[in-house]
Structure 1
Amino acid sequence: MWQGEWIAYMSEIDTKKRMNLHRSSDDEEQYIQLYSTRTGQTYPIALGKEAVHTFTWSNTSASLYFAARTPCANEAEEDYKSEWNDVIQYREQERGDTIYRINIEDITAYKIETLINISLRVAELICSPDGRRLLFSTSSKLGDLESMEDFEIYALDLMNRSQTVPIRLTNNQAYEEELTWFNNEEFFFTVSGYGSIEGSYKDSQGRLYSMNVINSRIERWADKFKGQIEGYALLQQGRDGVVILGQLGTEIQIYSQLSANAELIKRTGWNGSYESIVTGSEGNSSTIAFIHSSFDVPQEVYFINNINELSSAQAITSENKLFTERSLPKGKVYRWTNEEDKTEIEGILLYPPENFEQKNLPLLVLIHGGPYMADVNMFRAGWYTCAAMMATDGWLVLQPNYRGSSGYGDEFLNGMLLEIVSRPGKDILFGVDALIRDGIADSTRLVVGGYSYGGYLTNWLITQTTRFNAALSGAGAIEHVVDWGTNDIPVSNVYLLGGFPWQQPSRYQMEAAVYQLDKVCTPTHIIVGEYDVRVPVAEAYILERSLKALGVTTKLIVFPGEGHDIENNPWHEKIKVREELKWLHKY
């Protein structure tokens, strides 16, 4: 985070602490590092022993604000240890956050001042352009998505030293994110996938809103856009509105809007997908940097001097030059119909290099997670987005955007409601039927796989058909009671299944693969991170034990030190893809 001559940053904490969300070890000091671009020196700022959740610069003074878990008084901590030793009282032991200010006018004698204590965890923290207000969003003390009352936006008047309680600005059933001031009284925020600010809890595609802190007026931007808002950035610090990344179908394009009531303008650019857009103000226009890619055009960073130069942008990096020297998979959009309810479904087909639009190819159905995500026209190569690597290995890869995917409207997104695996599962199987009927896929060489929600669906599909020769199940649940009770987003289970387990017991059972595992004969490869709490690691063990008991060929790989995202050890990423490819070749 950059301000004037200073760049503030924190080093990455290890996986176990990140999984533990709040706690650092009792004797480990927390630091923000300040790097001076003028002197080239780095200064460590000691912040105490409680984990820091977020920080931000003041825009008008040499002050840095940060939020950390409220420390326990030494006497109280000693009393607790004396009575409870190392026993954890779940919920009761959790504490909210304290927001602090650091004055670094003299970096050698900085001062830390306590501003306010709150009962929740601070998720994001930003300072107004004039330095008069702090805006912050909150989340639960436990770090999970259990009650939407924990997720709101608050303001703190920095000019009023007597203010001991922040002003609550929102009161809704939504998870607000990506806070950005665009003048001293208004700010933007997004709601993506969890709840809605309009009425009772209901999931929707990503939306963009602005709010006035004086009169509490909220306006929705791009309200006629049918797709998903993937991101945004200010033009001329908001004076010229915003530039928006909008996903519609299988592309993410750039749009602009001058005000909430103005027309949303699609900007002329390239086919494919844009991401990670940032802007800066210079003169009477905004300079813009972004990443762009498409199926066979690798990601690079591009720069333009104003929004009208989009189609003539020049790459300023060549990080993926190696891929341009190789024969890459080519992709296309493929559409089919769910014959039960006549809904059109589409997805991506990636062909092996030099085999574009060939027939009778071996098929891998690779299912995205989310479920509120989508596979799009974008170049991706990683442990999770591994379709290009699989295609390079000789597979025709179908990436279906089943019911529940983003980019097709809120009705399509909620089309999986109450039928969270059965309906998307049918969408996918009808796609396989269509590929075979069109002569594109070889019916004798079919495999399936997915990660996260793609793992849920993989586990379900192998109970519905024996046509797949092999399956790759990554971090996917096979039932919903343990999943609801131990994951970090239980509100999602309750919403998608229409209630708590005791309210909807039959639905929790009907939509669970575990009760139909006796139908499975597909050799199944399973992977999971040791500390996964998004899809609890227990689900992988239940699946492996069940298949073993049924005599179905299976293998479970557990990645130590990893959570839901396999990102802490590059070897784990390599091994994940390597072992999955070996499994597909074997079976």
Structure 2
Amino acid sequence: MRRVGHLVVCGAVILFLGAGADIRSAEKRLLKVDDLFEIKDVNDPQVSPEGDWVAYTVRKADSKTDKNDTDIYMTRWDGSQTLRVTTSKVAETTPRFSSDGRWLAFLSSRDYDEDTDQVWLMSRSGGEAERITDFKGGVSDFAWSPDSKRLALVVLDPDPDACDAEKEGKEACEEKTPKPIVIDRFKFKEDETGYLGKRHEHLVLFDVAARKGEAITSGLHDDLLPAWSPDGRSIAFVSKRADKDPDRGDNWDVYVIEAKTGAAPRQLTTFDGADSSPEWSTPPAWSPDGQQIAYLQGGPPKFIYYVLPRLAIVPVAGGAPRIVTATLDRGVGLLHWSSDGRSIYCILEDDGSVHLAKVHVATGTIDRILAGPRTIGAFDVGKGDRIAVLNSTPDEPPEVFALEGTTLRPLSRQNQEFLSHVKLGKTEKVSVKSKDGTAVTSFVVKPPDFVAGRKYPAVLRIHGGPVGQFQNEFDFDWQLFAANGYVVLAANPRGSSGRGEEFCRAIYADWGNKDAQDVIAAVDDAVTRGIADPQRLGVGGWSYGGMLTNYVIAQDTRFKAACSGASISNILAGYGTDQYIVEYEAELGQPWKAFDTYVHNSFPYLHADRIKTPTLFLCGDKDFNVPLLNSEQMYQALRSQGIDTQLVIYPGQYHGIRTPGYVKDRLERYLAWYGKYLKP
């Protein structure tokens, strides 16, 4: 009787909870543009040395100040307590625990006249944070020594032409006429940095107690990604110092230098391509015994970014490196040795997901610890291989989780309240066949109130890169389009990562051909399945996504509306005006020697008369990645033909639009443009 009674009571509870869930579901609303001010961007989990706490950053857009603010939080490993560590209106990033656990250091430009990041130090026993560095050029990265007495800093050389506000006064400096910019470098411009002079980033050894730093590297090259040896005697880092002209390639190598002034760096790797390129955000990793260094090796220089980083190990004493993942046709990154030195934890990119994996050093065997439809954006390994991960799925923005075996336990919960109030569209991963039979992965996001059998206006979204991938992660733009009644199609065409090097290199020097066929195949599949209305198709993307948008509308007139952000179609105009001089010459050649190749890849501009799609062009006026002039040319080409078009220029913005008000404006313009032509 008790057992029956117990079952009845439990059943009542379940029914009650189910009814409550239905009520809550009914109360949920659709996502709206202003929700971008509610979403919190969680990142950079760091496990404390004792393993009891996890620090991480939380970024949120503020509609009142029209700025983004990043603060540091800490959560106990058992999830029982969360602390907000910083509260200023200026961003604090890169939280790092000292090795003895007494201190938490971070980067911030707050209360600093030069507006460059400096290192701040906070005692974990309490008290206010203190700025401990004063480098005019700023600190971009740092690492604690094992004894917690020193920091290895990455410091930018000060600007020799900068006005000294302390000596001359701030007002006098503001009124002073800037000196002419003199260019003499091969690669002379970079997005957000501007025109490149002779300033570089170098390593500085910083004494925490004395608050004093001394440079241990110098020269006309950058020295980045410092990593201390377990005994604290040496620092590994990456540099292109071996090249006569570092600007002419991507030949990063791993070096080791004694942690003292006057020491000479010793080169460990000599591969012609990139070893631990800073673009992979993966510092060299010392084995626990200090005898080996794990790093990432790229591919032949001619293939530039069309490569998949492989895990390699090199003896610290010198010798040939060993490629541990030689048979794995997937890219890896973010390397952490296991405490016993037998394995290396890493992330592994695979067909629309990013998994957490463990590679056995001796055999190269790979165990996927966290697989499935997810994206592991970051992770950290603490004492006893205690792991905190940044995990996202199509239904949940990135959050910090504690890994227990192969299951995740939530720690940060920053977006839990927000998600409880909104309805999201269902995301489905499908495989479609391209024109030549190639299998292409695509994501399909349906409106939250999707009705089977009804055809919906569809928007094809195209990712940038071209080497990159759409992933099993939360995408605000996708969900916003879905909330406004669109089916969203997001394909990973050839040129994308996650499917192996052959798939990645299939578009080498041949843009807008196979990759255009692949994304169009995703649209054809949705039309065939009766999901997408063939009379109401839109397309759009940013950067290479904008470029491929232009390629698509120049060969398929079915699309009724397009949004092309920060794109280029006249490739000849890109040579020497953007930051990709190395990539242009490696992939396409020099225009006077490979004119036909440039013309071949410029057909959306040279054959703009084939375009019939009303197109919205957008770009930041300070973009040195894909400069504004390229969007201006395409706008002019369509305007000259009488095609409905518009050019939106965001003042003070670089390749990535970051000012919250402009991000909101861009989303509203997307919806208005698609709405005008797909929902007449």
* Shared fold, TM over 0.5: yes
Q: TM-score normalised to the size of structure 1?
A: 0.85
* Alpha-carbon distance in 2 for matches of 1:272, 1:126: 29
Matched with 1:113 is: 214
Matched with 2:638 is: 547
Q: Spell out, residue by residue over 1:189-245, the C-alpha distance to the aligned partner (whole angstroms, 9 max, x if none).
A: 235xxx516998673123222222212432223333333325443332x62412232
Are 2:104 and 1:7 equivalent residues in the alignment? yes
Matched with 2:310 is: 207
Matched with 2:223 is: 122
Q: CA deviation at 1:145?
A: 8.9
Query: Which of the residues 288, 299, 303 maps onto 1:196?
Result: 299
450-459 or 550-559: bigger deviation: 550-559
Matched with 2:597 is: 507
458-467 or 430-439: bigger deviation: 430-439
CA separation of 1:376 and 1:85: change in aligned 2, threshold 3 A: closer
User: Given that residues 301 and 317 in structure 1 are in contact (C-alpha distance below 8 angstroms), is that contact kept between their aligned partners in structure 2?
Assistant: yes
Matched with 2:154 is: 67
523-532 or 84-93: bigger deviation: 84-93
Q: CA deviation at 1:187?
A: 2.2
Q: Spell out, residue by residue over 1:440-459, the C-alpha distance to the aligned partner (whole angstroms, 9 max, x if none).
A: 22111011001111100011
Q: CA deviation at 1:329?
A: 0.8
Query: Which of the residues 432, 439, 463 maps onto 1:336?
Result: 432
Secondary structure in 2 matching 1:425: helix
User: Given that residues 140 and 150 in structure 1 are in contact (C-alpha distance below 8 angstroms), is that contact kept between their aligned partners in structure 2?
Assistant: no
Secondary structure in 2 matching 1:47: coil
Q: CA deviation at 1:337?
A: 1.9
Map 1:414-425 onto structure 2 (within 5 A).
414-425=505-516
CA separation of 1:218 and 1:467: change in aligned 2, threshold 3 A: same
114-123 or 468-477: bigger deviation: 114-123
Are 2:182 and 1:89 equivalent residues in the alignment? yes
User: Given that residues 154 and 170 in structure 1 are in contact (C-alpha distance below 8 angstroms), is that contact kept between their aligned partners in structure 2?
Assistant: no
Matched with 2:393 is: 294
Query: Which of the residues 273, 282, 285 maps onto 1:173?
Result: 273
CA separation of 1:354 and 1:72: change in aligned 2, threshold 3 A: closer
Matched with 1:369 is: 464
Q: Which structure is richer in relative contact order (CA contacts within 8 A, separation 6 or more)?
A: 2
Matched with 1:186 is: 292
Structure 2 counterpart of 1:207, one-letter code: R
CA separation of 1:338 and 1:534: change in aligned 2, threshold 3 A: same
Q: Spell out, residue by residue over 1:222-280, the C-alpha distance to the aligned partner (whole angstroms, 9 max, x if none).
A: 333333325443332x6241223222212322321221524112236554333322221
Gaps of 5+ in 2: 1-95, 165-176, 186-196
User: Given that residues 205 and 259 in structure 2 are in contact (C-alpha distance below 8 angstroms), is that contact kept between their aligned partners in structure 1?
Assistant: no
Map 1:185-584 onto structure 2 (within 5 A).
185-191=291-297, 195-196=298-299, 203-236=306-339, 239-267=341-369, 270-282=372-384, 286-305=385-404, 309-311=405-407, 313-321=408-416, 322-339=418-435, 341-355=436-450, 358-381=453-476, 386-497=477-588, 499-512=589-602, 513-567=604-658, 569-584=659-674
Structure 2 counterpart of 1:342, one-letter code: G
Q: CA deviation at 1:488?
A: 2.1
Q: CA deviation at 1:114?
A: 3.2
Secondary structure in 2 matching 1:253: strand
Q: Spell out, residue by residue over 1:448-494, the C-alpha distance to the aligned partner (whole angstroms, 9 max, x if none).
A: 00111110001111111221110011111112123232222333333
Structure 2 counterpart of 1:318, one-letter code: R
Structure 2 counterpart of 1:300, one-letter code: E
Q: CA deviation at 1:521?
A: 2.1
Q: TM-score normalised to the size of structure 2?
A: 0.74
CA separation of 1:8 and 1:318: change in aligned 2, threshold 3 A: closer
CA separation of 1:105 and 1:45: change in aligned 2, threshold 3 A: closer
> How many residues were matched structurally?
546
* Alpha-carbon distance in 2 for matches of 1:376, 1:518: 35
Matched with 1:17 is: none
Structure 2 counterpart of 1:287, one-letter code: R
* Alpha-carbon distance in 2 for matches of 1:399, 1:482: 29
Secondary structure in 2 matching 1:117: coil
Q: CA deviation at 1:559?
A: 1.9
162-171 or 423-432: bigger deviation: 162-171
User: Given that residues 579 and 624 in structure 2 are in contact (C-alpha distance below 8 angstroms), is that contact kept between their aligned partners in structure 1?
Assistant: yes
Percent identity, please: 24
Q: CA deviation at 1:528?
A: 1.2
Q: CA deviation at 1:298?
A: 4.6
* Alpha-carbon distance in 2 for matches of 1:484, 1:464: 24
* Alpha-carbon distance in 2 for matches of 1:393, 1:487: 36
5-14 or 506-515: bigger deviation: 5-14
User: Given that residues 374 and 391 in structure 2 are in contact (C-alpha distance below 8 angstroms), is that contact kept between their aligned partners in structure 1?
Assistant: yes
Q: CA deviation at 1:71?
A: 5.0
Matched with 2:41 is: none
Secondary structure in 1 matching 2:506: helix
CA separation of 1:68 and 1:310: change in aligned 2, threshold 3 A: same
CA separation of 1:303 and 1:85: change in aligned 2, threshold 3 A: closer
Structure 2 counterpart of 1:91, one-letter code: D
* Alpha-carbon distance in 2 for matches of 1:528, 1:140: 35
User: Given that residues 450 and 472 in structure 1 are in contact (C-alpha distance below 8 angstroms), is that contact kept between their aligned partners in structure 2?
Assistant: yes
Structure 2 counterpart of 1:344, one-letter code: A
Gaps of 5+ in 1: 15-23, 78-83
Q: CA deviation at 1:391?
A: 1.3
Q: Spell out, residue by residue over 1:153-194, the C-alpha distance to the aligned partner (whole angstroms, 9 max, x if none).
A: 2221226x5534554643422252411223323222235xxx
Secondary structure in 2 matching 1:205: coil
174-183 or 63-72: bigger deviation: 63-72
* Alpha-carbon distance in 1 for matches of 2:119, 2:400: 28
Structure 1 counterpart of 2:430, one-letter code: Y
Matched with 1:101 is: 205
Q: CA deviation at 1:46?
A: 4.0
Structure 2 counterpart of 1:545, one-letter code: Q
